[in-house]
Amino acid sequence: MGIEGLKSSALADSIGVNRATISHILSGRNKPSIDFFQKLLSTYPDLNSNWLITGIGYMSTKNETQDVKVSKKIGKVVVFYDDNSFEEVGE
């Protein structure tokens, strides 16, 4: 929405969903459906579906070198041992 300069109501109108759908997704009340992703990706074909779902990679499939690459970092790892004990490694 930020890149396109759209408000949530304009995004809803552009992809053909109810405005409340966008509001509920943005607030965390609902998760986006497959139908929502299909409408979003058909309206914005340069949007990278992998980035949209996972947050990893480039936002756009076009001009990837101009996008900021987003990746997740490992915060900590939990190691479970045979004796049912565990150890946290990392932050």
16-30 average pLDDT score:
93
Q: At what angle do helices 19-27 and 8-15 cross, to 10 degrees?
A: 130
CA 38 to chain centre: 14
How far is 17 from 11, CA to CA, in rounded Å?
9
How far is 29 from 24, CA to CA, in rounded Å?
5
Query: Would you state the pLDDT for residue 73?
Result: 72
How far is 24 from 75, CA to CA, in rounded Å?
29
Sign of CA dihedral 67, 62, 54, 10: positive
The string of pLDDT tens digits covering residues 27-69 is 999 999 999 999 999 999 999 999 888 888 888 887 655 545 5
